[in-house]
Structure 1
């Protein structure tokens, strides 16, 4: 029985088929991005070039033009990590379990901060990088708003601050472009 494996063979990277699957996956993510509303899309930290191409896609009426634009969006998407983009889309749509848990935790923390002074001490211990003066100001304003039956503007700002501490925003890393020798 002959052994056909060569132990000296080095890994030369993903196969053409694997590269094509990755490109198609990223193009599918690009298509999914075109289906998102502007508010949801604003929550995803995409590079400016991709955002511009997505806006251009929505201006087009022709099926063929939209198909070509999707391919261009897919090309630009190749510079991003597909898993990070998927996570960012899920987080923006509210489908990410970690994001939902962070949302609930942020609401509880905000309510505790407004209700009791001891919660601020624990919050500062948990998140030492927070701007303490801003947090105290927001708590004070939120308490005044609640007392005077005014809209909860400071409470919302406090929630946003707490949420950004509990679940920091995703940063989509752009991969270094490899030199194209066929141009």
Structure 2
């Protein structure tokens, strides 16, 4: 027997098995699933509903919300969620998670845009109203002027303004629908 040239002698039993997953790969996949479980545990109830998780995973994530973080029980619950997610497509779950989180970021960005627009209207008055009407002809000039005038008066008296909120809602409803 030629030991140097005999490569069959050094082969492992799993070398010909295409389904074999190394222990390291398995641990990495388990850790990825647990990390995804931690992200799911941080979502609100409404965000979890949007994720459309199957019932047992949804229930496990909801149970995590009742456990104090940084405890052994929390760690075990996250491990359990990771175990439930072994049969799930993690890429698809990550895509759903990104969509749910991104919607909130887009919503916050839209709110900021309309707040800045309202503040600019309050600061610059009629000139900005004219500029806004050129960009968005569907807006009602008279209503805009009334809301801006009322908001300016109310803001002069105190920091809260019911008219400023109405102006924000009006801008958002009329411009966002386009």
Q: If the length of structure 1 is used for normalisation, what is the TM-score?
A: 0.47
Q: Greater helix share, 1 or 2?
A: 2
TM-score normalised to structure 2 length: 0.48
Give the structure, 1 or 2, with the largest relative contact order (CA under 8 Å, sep 6 or more): 1
Max radius of gyration: which structure? Answer: 2
